[in-house]
Structure 1
């Protein structure tokens, strides 16, 4: 204590630095005594008085010493987090004192370099991730994509993958991100170069040609800026999402065949049948679902004809759909005769075109 009092009276730069370090040592050795609000307020004032007069190197060493301290005064930590980036970096990266509102404030008010450090901070919450995506700064989003410990949801990844269309810095970290799934890999596949395409295909054990064919429609929609893909995904049930992902994997690996439709129906899995038919025909899933629930079997017949379902199989397929779908699609005997006639006489290409026009 005598040494601290002596250093406090000195105006020498080296003494001021030693004073700060001795105070840190004192605080680290007496953490419990720092809890009362009155003591915390006094400690804050002492540190403020010192750092406002401190040289750059002193503030830097102080930041490194207290970056992980749980006893540090919040006001002091917040001031240091807005200091020059070399001083702020360890504070932003490690301080347990910084909470979500503090980090979001840095994203809104601080420099680009400070924002990047927030995106790199371990274990940032989904609220902070939301704020990063709202800033839409390429460098910050790239840092977020590299941060595998951040609480990044599938919706966050969807947004990042869509932004990867125009931000090349996102390509590599997203291709390696542990949260990337088959659907998002498909979108990303369209934006990246040949090397990363091979990496994505290898990671998901996909055939490049099958992948490009399977994702042609979804990629075209994304490039056209259609907003519905995300909202449709959010409206799915858990069963529908699982079935779609299973079908996507089969499709991308070249294993999805028209015969799989009958297999799905025999297992009484209507959503799996719908997902498979949509993937085989490159149709929108809601359009296929509408056909399965239609007033007549004609739209479903056109969809099945377009993917070259065997003519002998189609009557059984239609019967199974109705059996597990409360009698839908509906229709009279005359409607069914017309549906069977269309199925038998229409080429796959024409059937595909008719289906898209009618749904």
Structure 2
């Protein structure tokens, strides 16, 4: 039976603490209210939660920094994150706001953009270091933040940079040399922007050398052009996300660390390229084939793949459930889809699944030709 507010704390005591302006009273009041929010056994109603959120919002400005920091940690660790309160704390002094800005899972893009526009550079830096920076938030940072924050954003592999943001950063890298290396290291830098950067960096280097040394321009042009082309080729080959993911998955497999848990964790953390690469390496198929299986709105091929690599039943069900959640926005599935998929998984023999896998391991062009011949015969 859910406890009532009066069962968990003396309301008169709360009122007395709220009227007391001493630090000790404010600390005790905060602790009392946080205790109401966090333990699951209390099960506050929406009305009680709204009331407590309102009380804390009014008190925050008068609480000591240490108390507000404690409140932040309690909210980030607790089962009831109170988004409205976290939004208020995200606009607090950086000593309080930093943990919220870096670690909160409930702040919306607009909350973060508001902080970018209104708060200090330290707040922007905390946002740039988040594990997930959306394209909209990244654009706000690029437009508003200083060089230190922008460099941190560029170096953050979990930041999503739109084409517009990339173009602005490439243009800015002419003024700020330190943007160049991390930009060229990003797997998502569009090839044409990479080419543009390589060539104007090369042109700037040519101008620098010719102004300081008596060297035949023709020889310098040949050397610089050769170096730029090698850099462009390296960018095309080495900086593709799928190739990075495949190299990592292959290395993990060599170390016996490409486990079922790792593959599921990659999907849960939305590291889709690593998830696809992990399946590809375990199944000994190429990335493109694995990607086609994972991105197929149906799950038949995915069921075959999971069975072929001997994925345990509970792990397979967990992976299929995670995939279903990720697809709900683009390819919603009926509630019974997972049950049907697992019934197919249970019926399928590993030997039969692996015979299909052998076909998937063939060259894609060869497989296409086989399918065309089979279609013609029918």
TM-score normalised by the chain length of structure 1:
0.49
- Which structure would you say has the larger Rg? 1
Q: TM-score, normalised by structure 2?
A: 0.46
